[in-house]
Structure 1
């Protein structure tokens, strides 16, 4: 059952394998999150650039901890460290 107190927004593309890696981790940890699908054209990803400083996806904003980050490997590591069994 998802944790309703988690306030995570995931910026992602449809059918992006890196984004799906983050989605799998969020689901495995039972975290609730909002998906924001962004423009496929890299030069038009202004929404995610305003949030994370880059136009790359996936990107997350975790309002509970104040963390904003990109790169699927970094996001997965952060989620597991923060919300996994060894997390706070």
Structure 2
């Protein structure tokens, strides 16, 4: 199991942006696909307090439920580049 988990919805361009950065940095990560319906996104809501995606957690650095693709990409670049 990887330290980083990405919560995403297939086809989401913001999720793809984060996935691309994770791949570019050659980081190991797990993916959790969330349901299309916001009502059914209980796991991502528990982690981040909201139902939007993308969201990442990074156990190695104490990051729980970071959202907003630009913030996530910036965090990944600052932490892992």
- TM-score in terms of structure 1 length: 0.87
- TM-score in terms of structure 2 length: 0.94
Give the equivalent residue in structure 1 for 2:49. 53
Report the Cα distance in structure 1 between the residues aligned to 2:70 and 2:12, rounded to whole angstroms. Answer: 14
Specify every segment of 5 or more residues in structure 2 that has no aligned partner in the other structure, as ranges: none
- Kindly report structure 1 stretches of 4+ aligned residues shifted beyond 4 Å: none
Specify every segment of 5 or more residues in structure 1 that has no aligned partner in the other structure, as ranges: none
Tell me the secondary structure at the aligned position of residue 10 of structure 1. strand
* Structure with the higher strand share, 1 or 2: 1
Number of corresponding residues: 80
Give the equivalent residue in structure 2 for 1:78. 75
Give the equivalent residue in structure 2 for 1:20. 16
Report the Cα distance in structure 2 between the residues aligned to 1:60 and 1:78, rounded to whole angstroms. Answer: 10
